Amino acid sequence: MTDETRRIAMARRAEIVELSDAAVIAIATAWVNLWDELEPQYDQLVQDLVTQYPAGATPAQLDQAERVTQAMQTTRERLDELAEYADQRIIQDIESIVAGAPPVVLDGLRSQLPAGQASAVIRFGGVSDTALAAIVARTTSQIHTATAPLSADMEAAMKRNLTKGIIDGANPRTTARRIVRDTEGAFNGGLARASRIARTEQIDAHRAAHAATVAENTDLIAARVWMATPDARTCMSCVAMSGTEFPVDTVGPEDHPQGRCAFIDKLRPWSELGIDADEPPDIDTNLTGWFDGLTEDTQRQMLGPGRYELWQQGSIGWDDLSVRRENDDWRAAYYETPLRELSGR
């Protein structure tokens, strides 16, 4: 593995993150615009309701209130449009993300060969258009499934917050402000979910296409190597995982949400590929040496005061800093080991 191999892998991961960021920004803009449209209507509705029911209303009274029914019906129609937009915006880049995986794998393997011999030596196995189309179709279906409940769930949460505030009864002015704020919070809960869907599905589409390409080239690839970004923004879980080798059939890396890690596909030894030349050593993808060279303040900042003290005492080691956990909102991923778990070791 060479510096160019690392550059290719990390550049592709940065491209995927940039695409998912763009999708999230577009979706967030649509969310903000819709709330700007809805907020004055809800503000007036709540003002009228707290004035009409200064001591609070019963659930039955609110269920029968025509203005509440009309407001929720209008909201649901606009939420349906918003969820459909989120769905289509997330899907928009999936095909290009999937199609971009095979060339990146090939470039990474070529970067590990002697200069001038890449084309002559490698017999690269491509992924069929049918297989790539299947990944796109599967991802699209998963996005449809994930976004379908958004509008109904947001409507229910908004109505729940709206009616709860009116039923409770309180100072009308204070109640109105709180109800509108809580209703906005329920509305924005849908944005958080849509953002997670965008990041999860786009990154996982890349991972699936990349893994499918690797599966066609196991005669060339010896292992998949976790590579983290060596800077102070990187969490200690990813720093600890960097350099870890995984079998060629591993899909990943299983980094956390907002992670910036990538897999580098390690070429088999030149001798196995029929190359009669002295092979240079691989670059070091383990970040222990990099971390040891940081200032004490930076190490403390990255580890946190509690972990840093345990580290200095020798109570924890590199392998203690990362733990794999299931996450229904994302997927299985490696996270920083909580301090409370480390303190008991």
Q: What is the mean pLDDT of each run of 10 residues along the chain (345 residues)?
A: 93 91 93 89 81 74 78 88 92 92 92 76 80 90 87 82 67 66 82 87 90 92 94 93 96 85 93 88 93 94 94 91 85 90 76
Residue 107, pLDDT score: 92
- How high is the pLDDT of residue 308? 94
Determine the length of the chain.
345
**Category of 100 on φ-ψ map: left (φ > 0), alpha (ψ -120 to 50) or beta:** alpha
* CB-CB contact of 112 with 275 (8 Å): no
Distance CA 46, CA 40 (A): 10
First-to-final CA distance of the chain: 36
Which tens digits make up the pLDDT trace of 300-318? Answer: 999 999 999 999 999 999 9
C-beta neighbour count of 136 within 10 angstroms? 19
pLDDT of residue 99: 92
pLDDT of res. 156: 84
Helix H or strand E encompassing 161: helix 150-168
CB atoms near residue 230 (< 10 Å) = 15
Q: How far apart are CA 304 and CA 286, in angstroms?
A: 21
Evaluate whether 234 touches 303 at the Cβ level (below 8 Å): no
- Report which of 327, 101, 340 is spatially closest to residue 196, judged by C-alpha positions: 327
Global pTM value: 0.83
* Sequence letter at residue 55: A
| Cβ-contact 184, 242 below 8 angstroms | no
Ramachandran region of residue 258, left (φ > 0), alpha (ψ -120 to 50) or beta? Answer: left
Q: For strand 245-246 and strand 221-227, is the pairing parallel, antiparallel, or unpaired?
A: antiparallel
pLDDT at 241: 96
Task: Give 47-81 pLDDT, tens digit per residue.
Answer: 887 777 776 677 777 777 788 888 888 888 988 99
Q: Which pLDDT belongs to residue 27? A: 92
